Amino acid sequence: MPQAEDRCAPPTPATVPGRACGSCTLCCRLPDIVLFDKPANAWCTHCIEHKGCSIYAARPSVCRDFLCLWMTDAALGADWDPSRSHMMIYRQGPQMTVLVDPDNADIWLQDPYHAQLQAWAAEGAPAGNYVIVFQQDDVFKI
């Protein structure tokens, strides 16, 4: 699974107006965060579930610089809000990475999600882009 450092690249994109993390804390659970010795799908020790980071003001740049794709891409509708979709999405070069909440492991196989993931993979394929889904210990390339 990608490490948190791998998913952060300056500059941080602008947030879509009207969007906020709210009570979503999936970025504190789903990715590996080497800095905190936190494996994928485990809660960061600094996270207060559904509330946020207990060290928010002093959080490291690996956390400070990251925004999921729902926060930065206005084309993603309300269905892709991580609190609703139970998935966190971000881009890494040609790869769109999808981390699925293990408490809702099969949600990415349901529509509208699965159909959209397939569409993104098909649209990106001519340019060498692809979609990778991390579902618990399994990895799928679409």
State the DSSP string of 66-133.
Answer: ---HHHH-TTS-GGG-HHHHSEEEEEETTEEEEEE-GGGTTGGGSTTHHHHHHHHHHHHGGGT-EEEE
Closest CA to 26 of 92, 107, 95, 140: 107
In a domain, 9, yes or no: no
pLDDT at position 45, please? 94
- Location of structure tokens 């490490």: 3
In a domain, 8, yes or no: no
Q: Please state the domain count of the chain.
A: 1
In a domain, 68, yes or no: yes
Domain that holds residue 84: 22-141
In a domain, 115, yes or no: yes
Does the pLDDT value for residue 7 go beyond 70?
no
The pair of three-digit structure tokens given for residue 4, joined into one six-digit string: 């948190």
Dihedral (CA of 5, 22, 104, 81) sign: negative
Closest CA to 29 of 80, 82, 70, 91: 82
Q: What does pLDDT average to over the chain? A: 90
pLDDT in tens, 8-55: 444 567 899 999 988 899 999 999 999 889 999 999 999 998 888 999
In a domain, 1, yes or no: no
pLDDT at position 4, please? 46
Average pLDDT (57-86) is 93
The pair of three-digit structure tokens given for residue 32, joined into one six-digit string: 């590996």
Query: What gap in Å lies between CA 97 and CA 95, rounded to an integer?
Result: 6
Query: What gap in Å lies between CA 139 and CA 129, rounded to an integer?
Result: 16
Does the pLDDT value for residue 60 go beyond 70?
yes
In a domain, 96, yes or no: yes
pLDDT in tens, 105-123: 999 999 999 999 999 999 9
Does the pLDDT value for residue 6 go beyond 60?
no
Kindly provide the b/e burial profile for residues 80-94, where b requires at least 16 CB atoms within 10 angstroms of the residue's own CB. bbbeebbbbbbbeee
